[in-house]
Amino acid sequence: MNETEQLQTTTPAQLMQIAGDVASVCGEIVRKTAITIKGRQYIRVEGWQALATAHGCVAGSRAVEKVETGFRAIGELRRISDGTLLAIAEGFVGLDELVWFGGQDQGGKVYPPRHEYAIRAMASTRAISRVCRSAFAHCVVLIDAELSTMPAEEMDPFDAPAPKGSLSDDVNRQLQEAAQRRRKS
């Protein structure tokens, strides 16, 4: 039975079991990469990518372009096994975002403009987070109902502290074990 046939015969209960397994394996990555902004936890792109990978998917971006009001990118979610496109989403960095394009906020703080490559990269990052969020937000709730499903990159970056650190080998091992269990079932 190929993967497409297997997915077509998978019941909702089996899909939720898979989501639960993914949440269990990815919980540590998601929590370690989450950041607190104004008292709420938000998931960074690394957490979203872990959820995608554990589901046998890869997220990427394409078509980053300058538009009249800023920069936009298209995020894509594809199945690793055959490259099938599963979801798309848009990431955007607007000219009105002082932290990217520079300017002075209402409190008088002045932000220098960022380099164009950095703005393009953030549009791409937001697109990746957004496409993963559209497909895997249900897993976040299984990890911790207090986590926000809004990607951290869509929040004001100057309100957030530095990331909590790198991902552990133990979490990577857990991802590999979960993938092996899925293949066996």
pLDDT digits (tens, 9 = 90+) for 138-179: 888 888 888 888 888 888 655 544 444 434 444 445 555 555
Handedness of CA 48, 173, 162, 147 (dihedral sign): positive
Q: What is the pTM of this model?
A: 0.74
What is each CA distance from 63 to 23, 27, 115, 127, in whole angstroms?
31, 31, 19, 10
User: At 181, which helix (H) or strand (E)?
Assistant: helix 169-184
Tell me the per-residue pLDDT of 45-79, one tens digit each, with 9 for 90 and over. Answer: 998 998 899 888 999 999 999 999 999 999 999 99
Three-class SS state of 88: strand
Q: For residue 85, what are the β-bridge partners?
A: 78
Three-class SS state of 56: coil
Q: Among candidates 18, 45, 22, 15, which has minimal Cα distance to 171?
A: 22
Q: Where are the alpha helices (DSSP H) in 76-168?
A: 98-101, 116-143
